[in-house]
Structure 1
Amino acid sequence: MSQHKVVLLLGSNIGDKKNNIDTALCRLKEAGEILKNSEYLTSEPVEFVSSNNFCNIATIIFTHLSPIQLLNYIKKIEIEMGRVNDSKISGGYTDRIIDIDIIKYNELKFTSKRLEIPHKKHLFEREFSRILLKDFI
């Protein structure tokens, strides 16, 4: 099985935010090996209004999963941790216990209804993402 280098961003703005991220990182170990984590970063919500700031982190993993298999696994983690709204389905952002985004998957360029790799908003539009990803991309 080949290993794929994947960059992920994780965020939480409900409950014990850092613990939520740490729990998701532990669950991600089941999908592959975590190589590197960024520092935690606090940021304001983007593209929606909330009084709850986010705790964010970037991570690099090696995984044998395909992009869609990884996305399915990530969605399973989000749901099992209590996330109720998926922005792709609802069409807008809301507070969330955990959010995990695939930013890069090797050097793959991939677009479907459910997934875009690389994740252009995080790479080019969001300041907090650029800060977290500066040593990862």
Structure 2
Amino acid sequence: MSQHKVILLLGSNLGDQKKNLNTALDKIREGENEILNISEFLTSEPVEFASSNIFCNIAVVISTSHSPIQLLDFVKSIESEMGRTTDSRASGAYSDRIIDIDIVKFNELKFSSERLEIPHQKNLYERDFSRILLKAFI
């Protein structure tokens, strides 16, 4: 199987945010993915919704043999397993979350479906916190 270089963005604004991010990283590793690089933690205000809970975010470069949709299903299963009950794309609105894992880039692939857009335009170009985190990886 061929390996793909993928950039993920992880965020949490509920509970012990750094612990949530580290738990998600452990689960990503358990899914036969190799973590190649991890950014520093960055805190930020919520974007596109109001909350008094600050986010803690990291960017991660992984190597995976999963296809884009397999990887999406995998990260969504991590979110669900960790207690996330609503999906922003499905609900049409953002809210506080224990964990959020976005696929930002997948090799140099351009892909768009109802469930997934690669590259993730908002994280690459519109959100200040993500541009800071991704600067070292892009």
- Shorter-chain TM-score category? over 0.9
Determine the structure 2 residue equivalent to 1:136: 137
> What is the RMSD computed on CA atoms of the aligned residues?
0.4
Determine the structure 2 residue equivalent to 1:24: 24
What is the rounded CA distance, in whole Å, between the counterparts of 1:110 and 1:61 in structure 2?
18
Describe the superposition over 1:48-74 as per-residue Cα deviations: whole angstroms up to 9, x where unpaired.
000000000000000000000000000
- How far the C-alpha of 1:30 sits from its partner, in A, is 2.2
User: Structure 1 length normalisation: TM-score?
Assistant: 0.99
What is the rounded CA distance, in whole Å, between the counterparts of 1:36 and 1:27 in structure 2?
16
Determine the structure 2 residue equivalent to 1:12: 12
Which AA in structure 1 matches 2:129? F
SS of equivalent residue, structure 1 residue 57:
strand
The alignment of Structure 1 onto Structure 2 pairs a total of residues equal to 137
What is the rounded CA distance, in whole Å, between the counterparts of 1:26 and 1:67 in structure 2?
20
What is the rounded CA distance, in whole Å, between the counterparts of 1:105 and 1:122 in structure 2?
13
Determine the structure 2 residue equivalent to 1:98: 99
What is the rounded CA distance, in whole Å, between the counterparts of 1:30 and 1:136 in structure 2?
23
Describe the superposition over 1:66-88 as per-residue Cα deviations: whole angstroms up to 9, x where unpaired.
00000000000000000011001
After TM superposition, the structure 1 = structure 2 runs for residues 40-79 of structure 1, keeping only pairs within 5 Å, are: 40-79=41-80
SS of equivalent residue, structure 1 residue 107:
coil
Which AA in structure 1 matches 2:83? G
What is the rounded CA distance, in whole Å, between the counterparts of 1:67 and 1:74 in structure 2?
11
User: Structure 2 length normalisation: TM-score?
Assistant: 0.99
Unaligned runs of 5+ in 2: none
- How far the C-alpha of 1:27 sits from its partner, in A, is 0.4
* Percent of aligned positions that are identical: 69
Unaligned runs of 5+ in 1: none
Which AA in structure 2 matches 1:2? S
